[in-house]
Homo-oligomer: A and B are copies of this chain.
Amino acid sequence: MTDPHFLPSFPPMSLALAQAVAAGQRGEVPVGAVVVLQGTVIAQAGNRVEELCDASAHAELLALRAAAQVLHSPRLPGCDLYVTLEPCALCATAISFFRIRRLYFGAYDPKGGGVDHGPRLFSQPTLHHAPEVYGGIAESQCKKLLKEFFREMRYNNASNVLGGQHA
Give A contacts to B, CB under 8 Å.
49-50, 52-57, 61, 64-65, 68-69, 72-75, 88-90, 92-94, 96-99, 111-114, 117-119, 121, 124-129, 162, 164, 167
Contacts and interface: CB of A to CB of B under 8 A. Distances in A.
Please classify the interface of chain A as helix (H, G, I), strand (E, B), loop, or mixed, using the class held by over half of its residues: loop
Contacts of A99: 55
Nearest to A89: B93
Contacts of A68: 53-55
Contacts of A55: 64, 68, 74-75, 94, 97-99
B53 A61 contact: no
Nearest to A129: B167
B89 A121 contact: yes
A162 to B, nearest CB: 6
Of the listed residues A114, A125, A162, the one surrounded by the most CB atoms of chain B closer than 10 A to its CB is A114
Contact of A50 (B74, B88, B167): B74
Contacts of A64: 55-56
Given A55-B94, A90-B97, A118 B128 contact: no
Nearest to A109: B126
A142 to B, nearest CB: 19
A10 to B, nearest CB: 27
